[in-house]
Structures are given as structure tokens and as C-alpha cells.
């Protein structure tokens, strides 16, 4: 029975991208025992994943976790994070090591010089390239996101009556300001959608969400509610799972939405899906300003537009959303 470890410490989107690898390794490597190591803050994302036999959590002490993993005596270690910490960890672990190509130089060329030499492949596909020698192939079943029963939201009980016949979920968060629409464009987005809207995001999005609700309520009778900061990752995933459509910025919950196989509208500013990071579903619709020679200006977003105009978001055409 081969014992296999997969490592991916963060973040939300990157972890959900590992789920096809988890499933395919478990199903295609005969009689394997599959372990996964991630940060404790993301444990709920994988807690209900039945393809994982044992989940290891990084809290504060990398050395302690490494010691625990070393005792498992793995046959194979699949590093889907690939940084200095995982390199140090792998030096202490037994077994054959696998990792994926991050295309760091190619991404730098794209951001700094606007020379696009990125491969035409998703990061999920690059993960599969890393395990090809194990005989593991993509089963083309997409992402998985399993939700524990205690994290499922009964929308008929949790949401007001106006939302019981369906709603659109809008993921208003983003790790940096340049990955999010400015408030006036968020208002424009909501105005184009003649459906009840549920806003989801983190605690840092509460203020924007409240302002958005206040503006929409003052201008129309459209049903809108802000759940930002009120739900866990998996509770937010449950809201997204039950939505008719999902709209979101380049952020983790938008990537999770792709696991539920509905239509996902993703909004792009400073970053680009050409990095191989678009929602991993055939039902993905990209909204981006392709007429700018300054994009991408960052690999992961920035606090402000480096040129001051923020045209990638300010001039973004949202007319596709009128079809919802």
C-alpha cells in the first residue's frame, strides 16, 4: 500500500485547485493511503473530502509538523506549493518527490515587460503534469468542494422570503484593492441584474457590502443582502452552491464556485486569467478590459493602480451581466 503526501498550505483558490489531483491520485494509484498537509485555517475546506485518509495541519511550528510527517515514511511526496518552506520540509521526508512548474520567469516577463510566454494551460493541468510519472491522469470531472452538514446553509431559513425563489451571489472580496471593482462599479453591476442579490466576502468586505446595500436600497426595490464577514469559508461556499449564478472578483470563493458547475462570471483587473488561474469550469465567463497595454501589472494584486487611472476596472464593460 503506497503512502502518499500532498502539500498545499494556502490559499483558498490554490487549495480548491488541488482537489482534482486528490481525487485522481486516490482513485488511480491502487490501494494508496493519501495524506494532505495544509494550514489549520483552511482545514474546513478539506475536512469532508473522503478521498483524503489523513489531514495534517500547520499551525505555528513548521518543524513540529515536519517531524510528524517524517514519521509517516511516505513513498511519494507531491509538493503543490513549491516554496522555501516546502523545500525544507521535503529534505526531511522520505520517498520520491514531485512538484510542478510555477513559470516564475515567464510570469515576471508578462507583468514587467508585457511579454507573454505563459503556457496555455490552467494551474490544475500543471499539477497533473507533476504527477504524470505516477500514471495519474486528469479525469476531467473538475473541482471538488465537499461541505460538512453543520456548514450547510438552509437558505429558506437563513435568507428573507424575497430570496426563496432564487438569487445571484456576488463575491465582493479580493486580496487587494486592484482585484476588486470600485464601489461605483459594484453599484453599476448590481443595477444590471434584475434578481435578488446575496453579497458574500470576508470581514474586510463588510463596510463595502453595507454601503452597496444602502445605495441599492435607496435607488430601487431590488432585494439585496450583505453576508460578508458573517460566514465561514464553507458556509459561504454553501450560499454560492445554491445560487442561480455567481459573479466574483479574482478571489478564492469565486474559484470555489467553479466546483459546483454552475455559470461563474469572473471579473479581472490588475491580474489576468492568462496566468492559468481562471475558474476551472467550462461554464466560466470572463469579464476583463482587453484593450489596455498595462495589464497585467501585478501577479497578485496591489493596494492602488500604479498608473493612477485604474482603467482595467473603471472602464470595464459589464453589459454581459444584463443577460442574467
Q: Could you read off the pLDDT of 259-291 as tens digits, one per residue? A: 999 999 999 999 999 999 999 999 999 999 999
pLDDT of residue 322: 85
The pLDDT of residue 215 is: 98
Average pLDDT, the chain: 97
Residues 240 and 105 grouped into a single domain: no
CA atoms within 13 A on the CB side of 58: 17
- In this prediction, residues 64-78 reach a mean pLDDT of 98
Grid coordinates representing 83 are 516554496
pLDDT in tens, 104-131: 999 999 999 999 999 999 999 999 999 9
Which of 103, 134, 165 is the last residue in one of the domains? 134
Residue 121 carries which DSSP code? S
- What's the domain range around 305? 149-323
Residues 33 and 107 in one domain: yes
Considering only CA atoms, which of 120, 123, 149 is closest in space to residue 138?
Answer: 123
Cα dihedral sign, 55-137-148-123: positive
Residue 306 belongs to a domain with what CATH number?
A: 3.40.50.2000
* Mean pLDDT calculated for residue range 72-85: 98
At 323 the pLDDT is 77
Number of domains forming the structure of the chain: 2
Domain-located, residue 69? yes
| 180 close to 250: Cβ distance less than 8 angstroms | no
In terms of Cβ atoms closer than 10 Å to its own Cβ (0-12, 13-18, 19+), residue 240 is: buried
List strands edge to edge, sheet with 76-79.
Answer: 54-58, 33-39, 3-7, 76-79, 96-99
- Which cell is 23 given? 481525487
Q: What is the pLDDT of residues 194-245, one digit of tens each?
A: 899 999 999 999 999 999 999 999 999 999 999 999 999 999 999 999 999 9
Whole-number pLDDT of residue 194: 87
When pLDDT is cut at 50, 70 and 90, the band that residue 324 belongs to is confident
Domain match, 180 and 248 both:
yes
Burial letters 285-304, b for 16+ CB under 10 A, else e: eebbbeeeeebbbbbbbbee
For residue 118, give the C-alpha cell. Answer: 505563459
Percent of the chain residues past pLDDT 90, beyond the cut:
98
157-189 pLDDT per residue, tens: 999 999 999 999 999 999 999 999 999 999 999
Report the pLDDT averaged over residues 27-33.
98
Q: What are the E-state strand segments in 12-86?
A: 33-39, 54-58, 76-79
Same domain, 62 and 37: yes
- 287 belongs to a structural domain: yes
Dihedral angle over CA of 116, 250, 41, 152, nearest 10: -140
Question: What percent of the chain is helix, strand and coil (3-state, nearest 5)?
Answer: 40, 15, 45
Q: Do residues 54 and 166 share a domain? A: no
Amino acid at each position: 500500500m503506497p503512502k502518499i503526501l500532498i502539500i498545499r498550505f494556502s490559499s483558498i483558490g490554490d487549495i480548491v485547485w488541488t482537489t482534482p489531483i486528490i481525487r485522481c491520485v486516490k482513485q488511480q494509484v491502487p490501494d494508496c493511503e493519501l495524506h494532505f498537509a495544509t494550514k489549520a485555517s483552511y482545514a474546513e475546506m478539506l475536512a469532508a473530502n473522503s478521498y483524503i485518509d489523513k489531514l495534517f495541519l500547520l499551525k505555528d511550528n513548521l518543524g513540529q509538523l515536519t517531524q510528524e510527517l517524517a514519521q509517516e515514511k511516505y513513498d511519494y511526496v507531491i509538493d503543490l506549493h513549491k516554496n522555501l518552506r516546502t523545500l525544507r520540509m521535503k529534505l526531511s521526508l522520505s520517498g520520491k518527490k514531485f512538484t510542478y512548474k510555477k513559470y516564475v520567469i515567464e510570469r515576471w516577463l508578462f507583468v514587467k515587460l508585457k511579454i507573454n510566454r505563459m503556457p496555455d494551460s490552467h494551474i490544475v493541468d500543471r499539477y497533473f503534469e507533476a504527477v504524470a510519472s505516477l500514471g495519474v491522469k486528469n479525469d476531467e470531472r473538475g473541482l471538488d468542494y465537499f461541505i460538512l452538514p453543520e456548514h450547510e446553509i438552509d437558505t429558506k431559513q437563513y435568507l428573507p422570503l424575497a430570496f426563496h425563489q432564487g438569487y445571484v451571489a456576488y463575491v465582493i472580496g479580493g486580496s487587494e484593492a486592484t482585484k476588486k471593482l470600485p464601489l461605483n462599479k459594484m453599484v453599476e453591476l448590481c443595477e444590471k441584474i434584475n434578481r435578488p442579490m446575496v453579497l458574500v466576502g470576508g470581514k474586510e468586505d463588510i463596510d463595502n457590502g453595507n454601503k452597496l446595500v444602502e445605495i441599492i436600497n435607496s435607488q430601487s426595490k431590488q432585494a439585496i443582502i450583505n453576508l460578508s464577514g458573517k460566514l465561514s469559508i464553507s458556509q459561504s461556499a454553501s450560499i454560492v452552491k445554491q445560487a442561480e449564478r455567481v459573479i466574483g472578483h479574482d478571489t478564492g470563493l469565486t474559484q470555489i464556485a467553479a466546483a459546483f458547475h454552475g455559470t461563474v462570471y469572473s471579473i479581472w483587473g490588475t491580474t489576468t486569467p492568462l496566468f492559468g488561474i481562471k475558474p476551472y469550469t467550462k461554464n466560466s465567463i470572463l469579464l476583463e478590459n482587453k484593450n489596455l497595454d498595462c495589464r497585467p501589472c501585478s501577479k497578485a494584486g496591489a493596494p492602488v493602480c500604479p498608473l493612477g487611472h485604474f482603467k482595467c476596472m473603471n472602464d470595464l464593460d459589464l453589459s454581459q451581466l444584463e443577460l442574467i
